[in-house]
A and B are shown apart, each in its own frame.
Chain A
């Protein structure tokens, strides 16, 4: 049955396009090469320094940021965020080049796993950032379960400034270079969760995090 639906739809499309059968080989080759190598189309131009744009765009969508000098300063930045909002120091975290090298304060209990509804704070590491729109790029993996990005009310993301790119097209190239190819889920995150479904009034923390805090580590 499934095959007959498939053929019927494809036949109907070909009929609509005034073609009986498959494409000419020459056209198919041209389409193949467009598919395999399509450069960027129109890239919005901006003058600001990428990191400054990134920070200002994130803050304009209700995220908070802190910029630190090195990996050694991440723990203090996290603690600052936790204390400012009076949050739990039981934390569920991803793994990564930055996160694996944090010297956690003794009061912190860190677990590396997917999130549950009881977790209040998740800390993850972004694959990349996009300066154009203030967007974090997170990819699902063994070290980064997707639930961390969406279940807890507070999401802290650490990212090295060297992972910041100007446009999403730069990030596509990075994703293609990942050892396993595209992860199951690539989440482009631009601010905390929100809704305007009740009388067009913006309310943060609809289903995902209420707060998004981004810690950017300066290049060495």
Chain B
């Protein structure tokens, strides 16, 4: 999709005032955090698995060309086809061409973040195909014409009342004229409507949670079973995946499967983990006759060579989103592209450009929770700081911030001057403050929503010296 990340500040302000969104966010947050904690506490080996997974990813990334070539050879050996896409445009063209060659009319889709990244749906529609999302969350946001607001729960921002109205508006053409408002009826109605799509689709497109080099397999983790119907019923199955998804072996995969579900939803295993290898065998009674894998780069090979390589360990579990106070306050849409939360604040500037997404790395309290809960131990706070440094170097930081930072840097590099400047300032801030200030010159943005903790009247240095003298 087209990025609107440059509207981050305006979108965040709107999100904070959106009561329906705030309700939805409040409801979602506790569940994810508690379920994850319970699942991890029940597995004493979790930390050991986490360390091993990090090591496996680092090894795989360090030999990525080797593993991708092995993966390619195995896909072909099993009768599948592999397509390389440098960027979104190339990926869209490949997918559209496969659908055309298949003589397709209707295309069903399982949830794919790579599919969102390259904006497959508009391309399919422009080429005259009917593209239908089948993951319930993706289906809801497709009806609402919105991007996902969470990488594993795309419709987390939608309340039940909003879904009721969406279904009422869109399902009339399926002969349904009643509003359904309880969860069971909503899910059943979607099930009924999408059944027909599953059995009549000509092409099914899914993402991949992992690729396995040893076997040429693509691995899909879902709870609904929509990914399996999408990949098994149509005549053609297309997997859209990115180059960093590859793992060497099934034994390596096992380590990641034990981390993914627990980190994402607190599940030991999702309902369905499916390993797809090639098209249907001659004797099979069902399954696709064609199996395609589209491998997307889109800036990842460049990240491999710079200080953002560790970001390529990300397995898209969403734990960093669920534990981020910024994401928890504004939701995913404020970020303005397909990825949100801490991982989105790192990936978006790297994929759509730092100028476009300059506000994202700054919307971070650096509390470090994202790295703590990351099953791949990705140093997200460090990367956000690096992006801030790049912004400063490229002069993307605002004039006032640059000016204040320069003053502060000038002082910080000269301890004696620093102390001389701070002593009166600290005293000034303490006057009449009673522990906190409700107003600060030049920092209204800060004091509007919270008090500034006021200093106690003397600097640390002067208190320290006084203490030393007493002893």
Given A187-B272, A208-B229, check contact A201 B86 (CB 8 Å). no
Q: Contact at A198–B274, with CB atoms within 8 Å?
A: no
Q: Contact at B27–A199, with CB atoms within 8 Å?
A: yes
Q: Contact at B31–A17, with CB atoms within 8 Å?
A: no
Roughly how many angstroms separate A41 CA and B45 CA in the complex, as a whole number?
Answer: 11
B248 interface contact, C-beta 8 A: yes
Q: Which residues of B contact A19 (CB under 8 A)?
A: 65
Give residues of chain B (193-250) contacting chain A, Cβ–Cβ below 8 Å.
194-196, 198-199, 213-215, 217, 223-226, 228-229, 231-233, 243, 248-250
A13 interface contact, C-beta 8 A: yes
Give residues of chain A (172-193) contacting chain B, Cβ–Cβ below 8 Å.
172, 175, 180, 182-193
Roughly how many angstroms separate A135 CA and B195 CA in the complex, as a whole number?
Answer: 26
B159 interface contact, C-beta 8 A: yes
B441 interface contact, C-beta 8 A: no
Q: Contact at A198–B68, with CB atoms within 8 Å?
A: no
Given A13-B65, A207-B134, check contact A42 B52 (CB 8 Å). yes
A200 smallest CB distance to B (angstroms): 5
Q: Contact at A10–B232, with CB atoms within 8 Å?
A: no
Q: Which residues of A contact B254 (CB under 8 A)?
A: 40-41, 167-169, 172
Q: Which residues of B contact A140 (CB under 8 A)?
A: 232, 280-281, 284, 286-287
Roughly how many angstroms separate A91 CA and B128 CA in the complex, as a whole number?
Answer: 39
Give residues of chain A (140-198) contacting chain B, Cβ–Cβ below 8 Å.
140-142, 145-147, 149-151, 167-169, 172, 175, 180, 182-198
Roughly how many angstroms separate A189 CA and B305 CA in the complex, as a whole number?
Answer: 39
Q: Contact at A16–B243, with CB atoms within 8 Å?
A: no
Q: Which residues of A contact B52 (CB under 8 A)?
A: 41-42
Contact among A2, A57, A198 for B186, CB-based, below 8 A? A198
Given A40-B251, A185-B276, check contact A16 B305 (CB 8 Å). yes
Give residues of chain B (124-148) contacting chain A, Cβ–Cβ below 8 Å.
134-137, 140
Given A185-B232, A190-B269, check contact A45 B194 (CB 8 Å). no
Give residues of chain A (55-85) contacting chain B, Cβ–Cβ below 8 Å.
57, 61
Q: Contact at B187–A117, with CB atoms within 8 Å?
A: no
Roughly how many angstroms separate A35 CA and B268 CA in the complex, as a whole number?
Answer: 26
B451 smallest CB distance to A (angstroms): 34
Residues of B within 8 Å of A, CB-based: how many?
103
Given A9-B243, A150-B225, A188-B274, check contact A135 B287 (CB 8 Å). no
B92 smallest CB distance to A (angstroms): 13
| Identity of the chain B residue whose Cβ is nearest the Cβ of A15 in the assembled complex | B305
Roughly how many angstroms separate A116 CA and B286 CA in the complex, as a whole number?
Answer: 11
Given A16-B302, A200-B27, A205-B187, check contact A34 B45 (CB 8 Å). no
Q: Mark B81-98, 1 if CB is under 8 A from A, else 0.
A: 001111000100000000
Roughly how many angstroms separate A187 CA and B70 CA in the complex, as a whole number?
Answer: 23
| Identity of the chain B residue whose Cβ is nearest the Cβ of A39 in the assembled complex | B251
Q: Contact at A184–B305, with CB atoms within 8 Å?
A: no
**Main secondary structure on A side of the interface with B:** loop
Q: Contact at A10–B287, with CB atoms within 8 Å?
A: no
Q: Contact at A35–B287, with CB atoms within 8 Å?
A: no
Roughly how many angstroms separate A148 CA and B58 CA in the complex, as a whole number?
Answer: 39
A8 interface contact, C-beta 8 A: yes
Residues of A within 8 Å of B, CB-based: how many?
79
B298 smallest CB distance to A (angstroms): 10
Q: Which residues of B contact A8 (CB under 8 A)?
A: 86
B253 smallest CB distance to A (angstroms): 8
Q: Contact at B283–A198, with CB atoms within 8 Å?
A: no
| Identity of the chain B residue whose Cβ is nearest the Cβ of A191 in the assembled complex | B271
Given A31-B63, A182-B275, A185-B276, check contact A17 B287 (CB 8 Å). no
Given A145-B285, A147-B232, A185-B232, check contact A206 B223 (CB 8 Å). yes
Roughly how many angstroms separate A142 CA and B135 CA in the complex, as a whole number?
Answer: 28
A23 interface contact, C-beta 8 A: yes
Known pairs A145-B284, A149-B228, A199-B183 / 11 extra A-B pairs, C-beta < 8 Å: A9-B301, A16-B309, A23-B63, A31-B63, A147-B232, A167-B254, A185-B277, A188-B274, A193-B225, A196-B153, A200-B153
Binding site for A on B (CB under 8 A): 24, 27-28, 31, 43-45, 48-49, 52, 56, 62-70, 78, 83-86, 90, 134-137, 140, 153-156, 159-160, 163, 183-184, 186-188, 190-191, 194-196, 198-199, 213-215, 217, 223-226, 228-229, 231-233, 243, 248-252, 254-255, 257-258, 265, 268-281, 283-287, 291, 295, 297, 301-306, 309
Binding site for B on A (CB under 8 A): 2, 5-6, 8-10, 12-19, 23, 27-28, 31, 34-36, 38-45, 57, 61, 113-114, 116-117, 133-135, 140-142, 145-147, 149-151, 167-169, 172, 175, 180, 182-201, 203, 205-209
A-B contact list, 22 entries, CB within 8 Å = A2-B84, A13-B304, A15-B305, A38-B248, A41-B255, A44-B44, A117-B195, A133-B269, A150-B228, A169-B251, A172-B254, A188-B269, A189-B271, A190-B270, A194-B224, A197-B135, A197-B154, A198-B136, A198-B187, A205-B187, A206-B136, A208-B229
